[in-house]
Amino acid sequence: MSKDSLHSLLSIEDLRVVHQSGRGFVKAVDGVSLNVFRGEVLGIVGESGSGKSTLAHTVLRILPPPAQVLGGSITFNGIDILRIPENEFRKFRWRKLAMVPQTALNALNPTMKIAEHFLETARFHGIKDRGQVMEKASKLLEFLGLEPSRVLSSYPHELSGGMRQRVLIALSLLLDPELLILDEPTTALDVLTQRFILDLLKDIKAKLNLTMIFITHDIAIIADLADRVAVMYAGKIVEVGNVYTVFKNAKHPYSQALIKSVPSLVDKLDDMKPIPGSPPDLVNPPPGCRFHPRCSFTMDICRKEEPPMIEADKGCFVACWLYVKR
């Protein structure tokens, strides 16, 4: 166990998760190690299919079958949560760890009013006082800029996308979790609603000091919200560090390419470049560094050996042979 893992709220060590397909096992998360420190917002960024959501679902133990955890550990406050029996973890989930998923409409039961979502969640965790639950739900909805009397008596389809997303955030906070995982919560929202949700999350962080993992493919959101960022590519973490350091001076060629692929308000439009090639086949990933087929700095060793994760700058770690002294 690393020194950092001893001081973290959540510590992931050498996690390996596969999805079974007709062609073989998809290595969705392959040897990921990551620490999340109490009170921080950790952003996880990468292209679609990089393993971000699979990582989040593994932490919450909501992987869809036939996905399998092949190895590694996930430690929350010193407890290896992969070893807790499922019936016990169901009580652990939502009280300690909660999640806001991508699509609010799919996450909410269309046949239940919003009030019933709060009451059912509370009942499952042994809270049967309806008045207490409704009071807490009302305060949370009001904090998130919603009118409790209207929202609680509504069905999900009667609310806008932004309102449903805020309902999910309120629902995730109902039992005062220590860690909140947000899996691309602004993806289906318009730009103005995205901005509103991000400002709300900043308020939550400031007022509740809540630890968060924010998963997205939008690096601009990470730059605005996160304290640290982990860059994920083809099932692996390739760079992790302070968000300012990574965005100001990214080390990994993939991190650099991600930043250049986004339009800037100050740089010329010609400076924006798409990442060449396509993400690798994770049933048969390339040997060595998985980014090497798309990288303009590829060396012979990149094609043969997987790079170790090293500290390239203070607090900034990168898995790239460009920074390994040989």
pLDDT in tens, 127-159: 999 999 999 999 999 999 999 999 999 999 999
Residue located via tokens 């010329």: 268
What is the rounded (10 degree) CA torsion for 255, 257, 261, 264?
A: 70
Residue located via tokens 């800037």: 264
Query: In angstroms, what is the C-alpha Rg of the chain?
Result: 20
pLDDT in tens, 30-86: 999 999 999 999 999 999 889 999 999 999 999 988 899 999 999 999 999 999 999
Best CA proximity match to 26, nearest among 63, 59, 62: 63
What is the DSSP track for 38-64?
Answer: TT-EEEEE--TTSSHHHHHHHHHT-PP
Q: For residues 25 and 311, what is the distance between their CA atoms, to the nearest angstrom?
A: 31
Q: Where in the chain is the domain with CATH 3.40.50.300?
A: 3-96+177-323
Residue located via tokens 């090497």: 292
Phi, psi at 201, each rounded to 5°: -65, -35
Q: For residues 150 and 148, what is the distance between their CA atoms, to the nearest angstrom?
A: 5
Portion of the chain with pLDDT greater than 70, in percent: 94
Asked if 142 and 170 count as a contact pair (C-beta separation under 8 A), the reply is no
Q: Does 3 have pLDDT greater than 70?
A: no
In this predicted structure, what is the pLDDT of residue 1?
Answer: 43
State which H helix or E strand residue 27 sits in: strand 24-36
Q: For residues 186 and 263, what is the distance between their CA atoms, to the nearest angstrom?
A: 19
Indicate the residue type of 28. A
State which H helix or E strand residue 316 sits in: strand 316-319
Q: What is the pTM of this model?
A: 0.92
The CATH fold assigned to 3-96+177-323 is: Rossmann fold (3.40.50)
In this predicted structure, what is the pLDDT of residue 274?
Answer: 81
